[in-house]
């Protein structure tokens, strides 16, 4: 009889490929995921897994992504705040989940965002998956806010970097938390304006993630602060395998 856990996949940008390895290991360990949540990139991986309940399929999707397309998505938002009429990230997410809704998911799923109008965290459980994922991935200094249903929504990591509370709101009992956030012990003496914004974002999510992980029953941490987007995209399988190996280690101890 499989062990049952809820799963909270945390924010982490390009490091999100690690989450796929976690899912592969959990399947191999015969662990049933009863509920799943995600913040930022964790919402994309969690949403795909909730939709298909198949780690291998999620891996195939991830390995098939086009590196140039991903880099072009990021660069297209330079000096823009909101691009709802021409939103490359939303188009990209549409190519992954099309018009699937939360009701189509095989596992109960919740995605997290933050409403800039009120400062409140939003647990998204209904509607089109692509809109929920777009909101949760709205790293403010890269993609701006996502305007949806009279809200300006930004990255869920600002409220729940590892969304343990979110998955418990679905009825999750014992929770596995997966944390990709870490912070370098040494930082450059000089920083550009964009680097300062990036470091502020990382420091904020790192501290939020530490508090979130206190609430998880099983804790899986990854220290990957020095990994660049190109590093990961050039060797995605390595990072998927890293997630797999560490998850097996945690459960076999």
Residues noted as catalytic:
40, 155
Task: List Cβ neighbours of 19 (8 Å cut-off, separation of 6 or more).
Answer: 9, 12, 41, 42, 45, 46, 178, 180, 243
Task: List Cβ neighbours of 16 (8 Å cut-off, separation of 6 or more).
Answer: 9, 40, 41, 42, 44, 45, 180
Inter-CA distances, 215 with 127, 178, 209, 210, Å: 28, 12, 10, 10
Of 154, 159, 176, nearest to 167 by C-alpha is 176
Task: List Cβ neighbours of 86 (8 Å cut-off, separation of 6 or more).
Answer: none
């Amino acid at each position: 009889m499989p062990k049952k856990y809820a799963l909270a996949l945390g924010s982490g940008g390009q490091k999100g490929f690690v989450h796929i390895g976690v899912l592969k290991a959990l399947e191999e360990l015969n662990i049933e995921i009863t509920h799943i949540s995600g913040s930022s990139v964790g919402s994309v991986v969690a949403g795909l897994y909730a939709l298909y309940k198949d780690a291998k399929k999620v891996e195939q999707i991830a390995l098939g992504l086009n590196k140039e397309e991903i880099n072009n998505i990021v660069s297209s938002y330079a000096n823009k705040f909101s691009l709802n009429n021409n939103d490359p990230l939303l188009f990209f997410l549409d190519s992954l989940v099309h018009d699937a809704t939360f009701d189509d998911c095989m596992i109960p799923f919740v995605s997290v965002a933050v409403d800039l109008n009120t400062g409140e965290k939003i647990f998204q459980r209904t509607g089109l998956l692509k809109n929920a994922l777009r909101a949760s991935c709205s790293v403010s200094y890269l993609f701006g806010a996502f305007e949806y249903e009279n809200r300006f929504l930004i990255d869920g990591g600002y409220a729940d970097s590892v969304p343990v509370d979110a998955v418990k709101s679905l009825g999750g009992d014992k929770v596995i938390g997966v944390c990709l956030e870490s912070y370098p012990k040494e930082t450059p003496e000089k920083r550009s304006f964009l680097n300062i914004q990036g470091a502020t974002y990382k420091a904020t999510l790192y501290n939020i993630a530490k508090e979130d992980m206190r609430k998880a029953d099983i804790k899986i941490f990854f220290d990957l602060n020095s990994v660049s987007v190109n590093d990961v995209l050039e060797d995605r399988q390595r990072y998927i395998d890293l997630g797999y190996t560490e998850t097996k280690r945690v459960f076999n101890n």
